[in-house]
Amino acid sequence: AQSVTQLGSHVSVSEGALVLLRCNYSSSVPPYLFWYVQYPNQGLQLLLKYTTGATLVKGINGFEAEFKKSETSFHLTKPSAHMSDAAEYFCAVSAYNNAGNMLTFGGGTRLMVKP
């Protein structure tokens, strides 16, 4: 079984401030980890993913995330927030097994950026 917990359903930052969105997971097998972004009235778009190898993963729009196995975490960061970053962000875990690409999502974090 696998699960994802995103701490904080709403996060508010000022423009130019650090963005930190928290994600903790549980998985019975080595996980694949993902961050998706959903802009208002749109579908989900992949920001970045971790499969194997380097634990610091860089994605689009200046976001990055670090896989920390000892902490079972995959927090998303961006050094300087832009107004255009306002969206909802979803962390997801996948355990590739015979059942296929089972993605389990966290509850989502809505990021608000203040001018």
Partner 1 sequence: EAQVTQNPRYLITVTGKKLTVTCSQNMNHEYMSWYRQDPGLGLRQIYYSMNVEVTDKGDVPEGYKVSRKEKRNFPLILESPSPNQTSLYFCASSFSTSVQYFGPGTRLTVT
**C-beta of 28 vs 101, nearer to partner 1:** 101
Is there a contact between 44 and 35 (Cβ–Cβ < 8 Å)? no
Q: Which of 40, 34, 22 is nearest to 88 (CA)?
A: 40
Choices 12-20, 64-72, 75-83, 97-105 (CB under 8 A): range interacting with partner 1: 97-105
Q: How far apart are CA 82 and CA 85, in angstroms?
A: 5
For 79-93, the three-class secondary structure string (H helix, E strand, C coil) is: CCCCHHHCEEEEEEE
Choices 12-20, 59-67, 75-83, 89-97 (CB under 8 A): range interacting with partner 1: 89-97
70 scored as a contact of partner 1 (CB under 8 A):
no
Judged by the rule CB under 8 A, the positions of this chain that interact with partner 1 are 4, 6, 9, 32, 34, 36, 42-46, 49, 51, 90, 92, 94, 96, 99-108
